Structure 1
Amino acid sequence: MDLKNIVARAAFADIEASGLMEDGFPVEVAWRMRESKGSILVKPCEFWNIEAWDADAERIHGLDRDHLVDAGTAVSDVATALNDVFSAKMVYTDSPEQDAAWFDMIHAAADVPRRYRVISISRILAKMGFDAESADPLFAAARLKCDPRGRAANGVTYLSAVFSLAVKERTA
């Protein structure tokens, strides 16, 4: 295991959505890696069903439709930015299937191919020698440092904290 290479290529991402219903759509993406972090609000595109809105999801992430329409970034710009940010990175999330679907939705709406892979954070931890049982304390300790609920930046800070704790344990 080349820990230095793993750290250099690791990127963490989290996505918030209008809801998990069939017509839901992504509303915010946040990322964090060794050299940078950021987030971007996603302006709903014209062929997404803006009425597919879950009030419970809004209570969790605190973003409303009007704010996204006014302050969100066009999906074409979001897709291009994500390809740039994640260039030569491995993108780790806590829900890779769902998050890959949200990323694909952004890229399809923009007609911009996705040029990065979305992988479970469990895979990078496994490469570092953590199985599910030995990784549980990392997740619990990270949860004490930062609550993953709410905005995407919270979720990505949490994932990054899990990874940082794993690196610290392996280099101690």
Structure 2
Amino acid sequence: MIQPAIIDIEASGFGRGSYPIEIGYYLPDGRAYCTLIQPAPGWVHWDVAAESVHGIRRDLLLARGRPAVEVCRDLNRQLDGQFIYCDAWAYDYTWLNCLFEAADMVPTFHLKDLRELLGECEQTLWHATRAAVEVRLQLRRHRASGDARTLFETLIEARKRCAADWAS
């Protein structure tokens, strides 16, 4: 079975006008990447409810965020030709396009929906398995690379549980 690369994107809010503020991924070999994204000109939407979830302040992005073109170059160099999976495809696809559009670039990797990898058993176990993984990992901050790792570990654990059930 595929052990996928997982990506997660934190954003300024949801819906119209929102944009990516942090992007991170977790690879099957354990390598991870995470970076804050400097708001591009015209990226002004800010939702305090979203900030309360991800805990990233806009002034932090302005001070420490990296320009879209740098982030896109990193992603293309490190993920070139790969399928990379996310759990909120409709949002993540929009935010990824927003990022690459700001950089006037095109991704050289393919974004796919994590649900494509889930069988019926994994779908049934997903929420309980994710809760157990979150307790086990005890990640202190809600960040993109940590969320990507949580998704990866949840998929692997759910698959193991389903395989054990099937073998019994």
**TM-score when scaled to structure 2?**
0.85
Does residue 155 of structure 2 align to residue 160 of structure 1?
Answer: no
Q: 1:134 Cα shift?
A: 4.3
**Count of matched residue pairs:** 159
The aligned counterpart of 2:94 is 101
CA separation in 1, counterparts of 2:77 and 2:161? 31
Q: Name the structure 1 match of 2:126.
A: 138
In the alignment, is the contact (CA less than 8 A) between 2:122 and 2:158 conserved in 1?
A: no
**Runs of 5+ unmatched residues, structure 2:** none
**Cα distance in 2, alignment partners of residues 103 and 42 from structure 1:** 12
Instruction: Judge conservation of contact 1:146–1:157 (CA < 8 Å) in 2.
Output: no
Partner of 2:22: 28
Contact 1:138–1:165, Cα closer than 8 Å, also in 2: no
Q: How far apart are the structure 2 equivalents of 1:83 and 1:37?
A: 15
* CA distance in 2 between partners of 1:166 and 1:58 (Å): 30
Residue matched to 1:54: 47
Q: Is the 8 A contact 2:6 2:86 kept in 1?
A: yes
Q: Given that residues 60 and 151 in structure 1 are in contact (C-alpha distance below 8 angstroms), is that contact kept between their aligned partners in structure 2?
A: no
- Cα deviation, residue 21, structure 1: 3.4
Q: Residue in 1 aligned with 2:69?
A: 76
| TM-score computed with the length of structure 1 as normaliser | 0.83
Identity of aligned residues (%): 26
Q: CA RMSD in A?
A: 2.1
